[in-house]
Structure 1
Amino acid sequence: MRQRFGRRVQKIPLDAGFSCPNRDGTLSRHGCVFCNPMGSGSGFLEKGLSIAEQWDFWRDIHVKKHGLSLFTAYLQSYSNTFGPVEKLADALAGLDGLPGLTCLALGTRPDCLDAAKLDLLAAQKERLGLGEIFLELGLQSSNDATLIHINRGHDSAAFAEAAGAAAERGLTVVAHVMAGLPAPDGREGLEELLTTVDFVNALPVRGIKFHNLFVCRGTQLSRWFEEGRYTPPTQDEYLSWLGEAVMRLDPKTVIHRLNGNPAQGELVAPEWAGNMRRLHNAVRDHFEQNNLWQGKRNRAELGPPAWFEAGFGPGEDV
């Protein structure tokens, strides 16, 4: 983003009032086993703040604290394409005139997309004058047995279909992937994570978010943890798996995150997942000390690609 726009572009999380088919009874009322009842959102809409008011709240903080001027609107809470296309259109209309709006990121599920919604999203790039539209799709795992076990509500084929349809319309697809998910035979590990990375590599996916699975309060996973039916990965396990996954990942796929951060008060376990700064330092140290870099497994003799360098300019061919 710095290379493209010449400066930092800050994400602003927005709650547009969407629900999830895995919570409202369409598919289930229990949600995915790991998902907290708040759906990883701020809950600001329930507190009476409009999209514009939420924007102003966060923007003022970033302007005063960091002097920032460019922002990405991140429709984050729950599944932001769930429901009729008119609901999505209303939410997008709420972005009109937001000062500093540069890009749009929208989190959703692959089974909450159809041609009309994808066409509507694609039209926003020109309408709002956006530099990029990131469609963040929850995959979590490419293993269908795992997806059933975690009550995901869709299979890997649904993700592949949605990613292809979105990419055809010029939307930038970002996959969400979790390490250490509970599985029918215990817990996913390195092999399953690498299989998921290979799955993503074969699709028109241009971004990825890696998440270490942690146990949140009020979830099915927390009950499994208390009953001794699930043990989250250790920090050393996660660092080892993450390093291998990144080295396996196509170097043209932009990594948006290398770990997940629990909200205040929601973390049950493991303790190490709750200290963001310490975890960031551990990830950095692990990569530096072991000379790990993205795509290394498939291009070790070539070295890191040129576009990893800070001086790589906007518009240069990758």
Structure 2
Amino acid sequence: MYNNPYPYSSDNKRYYTMNYYFQTKYHKKVAKVPLNAGFTCPNRDGTKGNHGCTFCSAKGSGDSILAFFQDLNTQYQQGLTRMRSKWPDCLGFAYFQAYSNTYADLDALKEIYDPFIKDPTVTGISIATRADCLDDEKIAYFDSLAKQKEVWIELGLQSIHEKTMQMCNRQHSTQIVEDTVNKLKQTSIKSCVHIMNSLPYETKEMMLETARWIANCKPDAIKIHMLHILQGTQMALQFFNEKFSLLSIEDYVDIVIRQLEVLPPDLIIERLTGDGMANDLIEPQWTIKKTIVLNEIDKEMVRRNTWQGKYYKK
């Protein structure tokens, strides 16, 4: 029996894990299967830029997709088979991960997403995209899907600080992310916002300000990432040229816990560290051992006698 003061947990975690959310809702393990639907991004095709965000890999954050260039059904089935080798009776959740997955006209989106909504073996869909790739018509369409099956929209924010994101070439404002989250709140769609710690020249206080912004905006979930310096990215060139500092594992554990403390206690934490592909990862090498990072966060939260939402103010 765990002596855990945090209410939304069935184990030693002192934050609201996605696993807890899924287990409570579906009473089974749910595995997200990453997919590449063949999209691009307005920040890659010349509409807003040609190289994407400076930290983004050539595969548009879809590096873990098993059959990247195969058709969607093959990708999903192969990915689900891999998941079920670890969790034999898990449910599958289709995760459209690579690039901006609403960056097309409505008819093209329907061709991609309707079959997954109709497939009884798919529990739900999660769609990673940019806030500037979601207009009211698309939101209405995804809302109609969300009335049939669970639908998540994931938005890349990374930091609320415009100077940082200009340096990272995000090519849209923080305000449009806030506006989009507020629109999604008026629908049946669930929203998740990504933030990133250790972006160049950001202080811990700046990272904490981003978390406080999330607490105020209050999407349904958050993903917290550590910056990965990856081979072939613009960020790698900047890193080699400027030698800006990166958080140590100890500093990362500290800032993540401080961020968790100011977030609402009922906000779902989808992840607390990212998955940089080992072959492409330049720094920080400590992120490869993801389990160690998560264990250190758990141990330090116990040591500090703290939990998600401890210092949350409405």
TM range (shorter): 0.7 to 0.9
Question: Of 20, 31, 41, which aligns to 2:52?
Answer: 31
The 1:46/1:66 distance shift into structure 2, 3 A limit, reads closer
Q: Percent identity?
A: 29
Question: Of 139, 157, 166, which aligns to 2:157?
Answer: 139
1:10·1:68 contact (CA, 8 Å) conserved in 2? no
Is the counterpart of residue 58 in structure 1 residue 108 in structure 2?
no
What is the CA distance between 1:168 and its match in structure 2? 0.9
What is the CA distance between 1:140 and its match in structure 2? 0.6
Question: Of 170, 174, 188, which aligns to 1:170?
Answer: 188
Q: Distance in 2 between matches of 1:266 and 1:99?
A: 37
Q: Distance in 2 between matches of 1:19 and 1:62?
A: 26
Q: Distance in 2 between matches of 1:174 and 1:101?
A: 20
Greater shift, 193-202 or 276-285, is seen at: 276-285
Q: Distance in 2 between matches of 1:96 and 1:240?
A: 40
Give a deviation string over 1:53-78, Cα, whole Å, max 9, x none.
11111222333442124121100001
Q: Distance in 2 between matches of 1:20 and 1:230?
A: 28
Question: In the alignment, residue 115 of structure 1 is paired with which amino acid?
Answer: D
Question: Of 194, 198, 215, which aligns to 1:180?
Answer: 198
RMSD: 1.7
1:41·1:77 contact (CA, 8 Å) conserved in 2? yes
Aligned to 1:117: 138
Count of residues in Structure 1 that have an aligned counterpart in Structure 2: 291
Is the counterpart of residue 104 in structure 1 residue 118 in structure 2?
no
Q: Distance in 2 between matches of 1:147 and 1:227?
A: 19
The 1:280/1:141 distance shift into structure 2, 3 A limit, reads same
SS state at 1:95 partner: helix
Is the counterpart of residue 19 in structure 1 residue 40 in structure 2?
yes
Question: In the alignment, residue 56 of structure 1 is paired with which amino acid?
Answer: Q
What is the CA distance between 1:96 and its match in structure 2? 4.9
TM-score (norm 2): 0.88
Correspondence list, 1:68-83, <5 A:
68-83=89-104
Give a deviation string over 1:40-99, Cα, whole Å, max 9, x none.
11466763x211111111222333442124121100001101122222112103415545
Q: Distance in 2 between matches of 1:26 and 1:11?
A: 31
Question: In the alignment, residue 253 of structure 1 is paired with which amino acid?
Answer: L
1:77·1:107 contact (CA, 8 Å) conserved in 2? yes
2:35·2:68 contact (CA, 8 Å) conserved in 1? no
1:23·1:31 contact (CA, 8 Å) conserved in 2? yes
Aligned to 1:95: 116
Question: In the alignment, residue 206 of structure 2 is paired with which amino acid?
Answer: E
Question: In the alignment, residue 108 of structure 1 is paired with which amino acid?
Answer: T
Q: Distance in 1 between matches of 2:275 and 2:177?
A: 24
Q: Distance in 1 between matches of 2:72 and 2:233?
A: 28
SS state at 2:101 partner: coil
Runs of 5+ consecutive residues of structure 1 not aligned to the other structure: 300-318
What is the CA distance between 1:230 and its match in structure 2? 2.0
Question: In the alignment, residue 102 of structure 2 is paired with which amino acid?
Answer: T
The 1:275/1:166 distance shift into structure 2, 3 A limit, reads same
Q: Distance in 2 between matches of 1:65 and 1:245?
A: 31
Aligned to 1:314: none
What is the CA distance between 1:233 and its match in structure 2? 1.2
What is the CA distance between 1:286 and its match in structure 2? 1.9
Q: Distance in 2 between matches of 1:71 and 1:19?
A: 25
Greater shift, 104-113 or 198-207, is seen at: 198-207
Aligned to 2:257: 243
What is the CA distance between 1:291 and its match in structure 2? 1.9
Q: Distance in 2 between matches of 1:295 and 1:192?
A: 19
Aligned to 2:279: 265
Aligned to 2:88: 67
